[in-house]
Structure 1
């Protein structure tokens, strides 16, 4: 079971890397006002959602303690990110503040995962 959990943790990290990497590649365009949500951001957020749900299930099945409040906060932040990216995915350019919000929420989700104990 531990191998399976580690596999899904790795996939979860790949998802956050795709989301954050997609954001970072658009930083220069954001400064020019031409940033857009790239497909990697949507796919990364979806990967995070699926692997996160699986990780909670696997940890519960193994009998490990899961901080449901922390998971709920992370899920809420991810749903907001996913909603914004999904709705605005086909637009040629996205408002700077909206694009920056997605980046801020992504970084916040990382820090919640790492620092909240």
Structure 2
């Protein structure tokens, strides 16, 4: 069971890397007002959602303690990220504010995961 959990943690990290990497590659374009949500950002966020749900299930099945408030906050942040990226994925240019919010929420999600013990 631990190997399976570690596998999904690795996939979860790959998802966050795709989301954050997509944001970081568009930072220069954001400064010019031409940033857009790249497909990798949507795929990374969806990967995070699926692997996160699987991780919660695996940890509950293994009788591990789950901090439901932390998981709920991370899920809420991810739903906002997914909503913004999904709705604006086909736009040629995304407003700086919306793009910045996705980056801020992504970084917040990372720090919640790492610092909240």
Distance between the aligned counterparts of 1:97 and 1:79, measured in 2? 17
Superposition CA RMSD, Å = 0.3
Q: Determine the structure 1 residue equivalent to 2:70.
A: 70
- TM-score, with length taken from structure 2: 1.00
Gaps of 5+ in 2: none
Q: Determine the structure 2 residue equivalent to 1:23.
A: 23
> What is the CA deviation profile of residues 49-99 of structure 1, one whole-angstrom value per residue up to 9, with x for unaligned ones?
000000000000000000001000000000000000000000000000110
Q: Determine the structure 2 residue equivalent to 1:101.
A: 101
Q: Determine the structure 1 residue equivalent to 2:116.
A: 116
Structure 1 runs (4+) deviating above 3 angstroms are: none
Distance between the aligned counterparts of 1:7 and 1:65, measured in 2? 19
Distance between the aligned counterparts of 1:93 and 1:11, measured in 2? 29
- Deviation of residue 19 (structure 1)? 0.1
Distance between the aligned counterparts of 1:42 and 1:98, measured in 2? 14
1:4-19 alignment, distance < 5 Å: 4-19=4-19
